[in-house]
Amino acid sequence: MIDETWTGLVADGGESFPILKSTTQFEGKVWTIRTDVLDFDGRVIERDIVVHPGAVAVLAIDAQDRVLLIRQYRHPLGMYIFEPPAGLLDVAGEPPLVTAQRELAEESGYQADSWHTLVDFLNSPGGSSEAIRVYLARELHQLAGGRPQTGEAEEAFLPRVWVELDEAKNLVLSGAVSGPTAVAGILAAWAARENGWVNLRSCDEPWLMRSALLNANRVPLNFNKKDLA
């Protein structure tokens, strides 16, 4: 009987298996689907993966501990969902924090004076390389001219709502709100507040997972690597 007990460090990472051949099956506007043939400990296998640019989201909380959520249509689901402001890392050379600050302004009309790294997660690691970082934004103030009308279609009209953090946590646990950035961000913020906000990471915290994905060719090649450490 094989002993499957892990005795090492509990942290994501480790070596990858050699890719013998990689074939692009689809190349879209945002992500690519490819088939990799790899040597998995002497066994040749095939795996389809979605090569994704990654994304950021912003869990914005006001002075009353209310969370900002926007209602947005998501075509793959065929419905509207409530989620924090978010956006793809689709501007070459733009640091993730700058992307987050821009998305908060564009999707909500707010800016923040206080920024922290709240939580990092891999959205669908069984089939996609999408890595997401959720920032915590506080000390909020509205833009003088309101939300800039920069989006189209799904982003042209983004109704927002302020939800008290305890209520937002209950909405997640009840299944009423189930988008990944909302679930991860709200639960992480609730836990951080319970701990007195003392263990928050810097907004400039190195994003080691995204750097590893870039180095492993798991991010589209048209995106710049220079400022993602």
Answer whether residue 181 is part of any domain: yes
What confidence category does residue 223 fall into, taking pLDDT thresholds of 50, 70 and 90? low
Residues 165-184, mean pLDDT to the nearest whole number = 98
Instruction: Supply the pTM of this predicted model.
Output: 0.92
For the chain, the C-alpha Rg in angstroms (whole number) is 19
Q: Which one of the listed residues 155, 164, 194, 205 is annotated catalytic?
A: 155
Q: State the total domains in the chain.
A: 2
Residues 158-182, mean pLDDT to the nearest whole number = 97
Tens of pLDDT, residue by residue over 177-215, are: 999 999 999 999 999 999 999 999 999 999 999 999 999
Q: What is the DSSP string of 129-147?
A: --EEEEEEEEEEEE-TT-S
Tens of pLDDT, residue by residue over 130-163, are: 999 999 999 999 998 777 777 667 676 788 999 9
Q: What is the DSSP string of 69-131?
A: EEEEEETTTTEEEEE--EEE--STT--HHHHHHHHHHHHHSEEEEEEEEEEEEES-TTTB--E
Q: Are residues 28 and 136 in the same domain?
A: no
> Does residue 152 have an active-site annotation?
no
Q: Which residues have a Cβ under 8 Å from the Cβ of 164 and sit 6 or more positions away?
A: 64, 65, 66, 67
User: CATH no. for residue 137?
Assistant: 3.90.79.10
Answer whether residue 208 is part of any domain: no
